[in-house]
Chains A and B, each alone.
Chain A
Amino acid sequence: MNARQGNVVKTSLLTMSALALILASSACSTQTVKTTTLTPIVTEQVSVAEDELLDVGIAVFLPGLDDIPKNREELTFSDVRMAETQFVSYQIAQTLQNSGSWGVVRVNPNDLSASDLAVRGSILQSDGETMVVKVSVTDATGKLWYEKEYEEVVSKYSYDPRLRRNEDPFQGLYNRVANDILAYRQKNFDRNELLTIRTVSRLQFAKSFAPQVFDQYLTTGREGTLQLARLPAADDPMLRRIDNIRERDYLYIDALQDYYGNYVRQMEGPYTNFRRESYEEVIKYDRLRAAATRNMVLGVAAIVGGLVATQSNSSAVQYSAYGGLFGGGYLIKDAFGKRDEAQLQLETLAELGNSLESEIAPQTIELDEKVVTLTGTVQEQYSQWREILADIYTAETGGAPAVTTTIDTTPAPTPQN
């Protein structure tokens, strides 16, 4: 066998391999096994002293719209994603609360620095089939507990109302988040450390209202975390005042929970419908896109191989080359067809998304307005309280009120006889 004959054989083998690949690819498909198995929530096994229970603030999750992969952009609807930020945050808060392992758990759109524990996160993917969220947990001292991505892929049975048992299809993900936070706390903190966290958060809050008084009690350690420098007296009147204010802060956050609760309950029905309906569409779309890409690649490869093989002197190789050309052409045509089908799927999904968006966008706007208005009102009140506390501090430290000085230095009117 000379060199040319060898090349021809190689080429014909390549062509045959491509054809075999084509046949093989049409015979098998990727399968994702999914179950409706739900990660159960872990609850505290031993009784925890009430003063060790950390209150948890859940920040409204970030929508992650800037981090959406290129191939998911068309499947993401910004208004839906914004609604999901409230929805997911609220669901995680409810899950943590229901675990019984924490103090009060609240969704809080504001600064969480005075929370015992702050949970922040962003939604990286949510399309009905898959949810990916990134979560970070930080305590009041500023210590980062951990940062982690959670992914959950649900089966279509997760949307079957007979199997859902009133739970969100992604409840397993929320449970995993709650379980991890609890596990971290159990593993890393003893009673004294938990009490320290609670004291720091209390002083952080106090400092935000009366920094002139409470700045001295907290220092920043080498690692950048807050540490207790010393403690105020148990009956410190200023701390008592601020504790009263903190109760009001809780009331305010409770009012926000009502907003979020109402919002989530209103959106839950249409949102679940959307996820269930889009579930199948997303899977079909992904399959069509994958098949279109695969067939296009194989089709091009088969044609290139076939073109080379047509140069062969062997009639057998030439026949197979023509087969490759024919098969490649068919695959490319099929790829275009699948791409068109995928586009139709996308349009169906867009209709679903637009429908949900038009339904929940007004509610989202209303929620935002309520939160902003109430927060603005409360912050104005807080400013007033800060002023009063500053005045009290001045009075307590012997500072003379400016007006007294002003009045006292004003010459008294000369009595007119």
Chain B
Amino acid sequence: MPSAGGGLPGMPGLPGMPGSPGSTGTGSGSGDILAGSAGSNGNGTLDGNDPFGGLGRNGNGSVMTAAERRAVLDGRLEASYGTFDGMIIGERQRSVADANAAGSSVMGTGAGENGEGEAGGQEGGEGAFGEGATVMASANTGGSGGNGTMPDGGLVRDGEYSNQNKPTFAPPGDIPSGDDDDVVARQLREAALHEPDAELREKLWDEYRQYTGLSTQ
């Protein structure tokens, strides 16, 4: 597996991959999506032996309880889901665009099935084209190329996964606009903004402060 830094090519929407967990000081580059999950948290206070990736202490400097650590880790998981979903959705949109472009291209060149189309003698007939745009249009409406559903929470299929519009909770007063947040900070911010549990939300903001260096200012 590639280590920190570059990420895999050709995947706009998903930043580069983070370094191996526990790899000191390499995990918090701007290309990381989960760098905070292990390894350095970017503020230089922890070394690479930290299995909780900077979760040893909360924003007040005291040692986090297990529940606090778990809550913050859950927040990180939640935040990474959003990034992942965004990457996949972007990729699927690109596939739709590719399909449409390919469909147009095939029609334009008259390639395709066997030239017995009914409309005006244009080559192509049934089959290869026409179908491209039509089918992909349906794929774009959600679902797996028409394949549909997925189990949600186990054995029950509740339909396609969709990004739900979660409520947003206002950030504390000391939190800046976040315009210059890197990817990890943005994930933490997103997770905190959408976290309904006040206690966990505060933990996430603590984590955000710690990561962005606010807590040391």
Contacts and interface: CB of A to CB of B under 8 A. Distances in A.
Interface of A: 50-51, 53, 55, 97, 103-106, 161-162, 164, 166, 195, 198-199, 202, 239-241, 243-244, 246-248, 250-255, 257-262, 265-266, 268-270, 272-273, 276, 369-370, 373-374, 376-381, 383-385, 387-392, 394-396, 398-399, 401-404, 406-408
6 contacts: A258-B145, A270-B128, A377-B17, A380-B1, A388-B80, A406-B50
Nearest to A379: B1
B127 interface: yes
B140 to A, nearest CB: 9
A255 B150 contact: no
| A374, A392, A398, A403 — most chain B CB neighbours (10 Å) | A403
A394 B114 contact: no
B52 A395 contact: yes
Nearest to B96: A258
B114 A161 contact: yes
Given A250-B150, A276-B114, A380-B17, A401 B51 contact: yes
A258 B92 contact: yes
Contacts of B113: 161, 268-269, 272-273
Contacts of B171: none
B66 A384 contact: no
A399 B55 CA distance: 13
Nearest to A254: B144
A370 B112 CA distance: 24
A97 B67 CA distance: 44
Closest 5 CB pairs of A and B: A269-B128, A403-B50, A254-B144, A258-B95, A250-B150
A395 B66 contact: yes
B51 A377 contact: no
A369 B152 CA distance: 30
B73 A269 contact: no
B49 A262 contact: no
A205 B123 CA distance: 48
A55 B129 contact: no
A254 B56 contact: no
Contacts of B5: none
A50 B157 CA distance: 7
B21 A387 contact: yes
B149 A402 contact: no
Nearest to A248: B84
A385 B77 contact: yes
B144 A381 contact: no
B47 interface: yes
A253 B144 contact: yes
A85 to B, nearest CB: 18
Contact of A254 (B70, B128, B143): B143
B38 A387 contact: yes
A254 B92 contact: yes
Main secondary structure of the interface of B (DSSP, over half): loop
Contacts of A273: 113-114
Nearest to B69: A395
Given A254-B147, A376-B8, A403 B49 contact: yes
Interface stretch (B130-138, B172-180, B193-201, B207-215): B130-138
Given A262-B102, A396-B66, A402-B51, A97 B147 contact: yes
Contacts of B2: 380
Given A51-B155, A250-B161, A402-B51, 11 more contacts: A162-B116, A251-B161, A258-B145, A261-B145, A266-B106, A273-B113, A380-B18, A381-B80, A392-B70, A403-B51, A408-B63
A370 B201 CA distance: 38
A385 B51 CA distance: 13
B204 interface: no
Contacts of B135: 261, 265
Interface in B30-64: 33-34, 37-38, 46-47, 49-57, 63-64
A390 B37 CA distance: 11
Given A104-B148, A198-B155, A376-B8, A404 B88 contact: no
Given A273-B113, A384-B18, A385-B80, A255 B91 contact: yes
A394 to B, nearest CB: 6
B17 A392 contact: no
A391 B38 contact: yes
A391 B85 contact: no
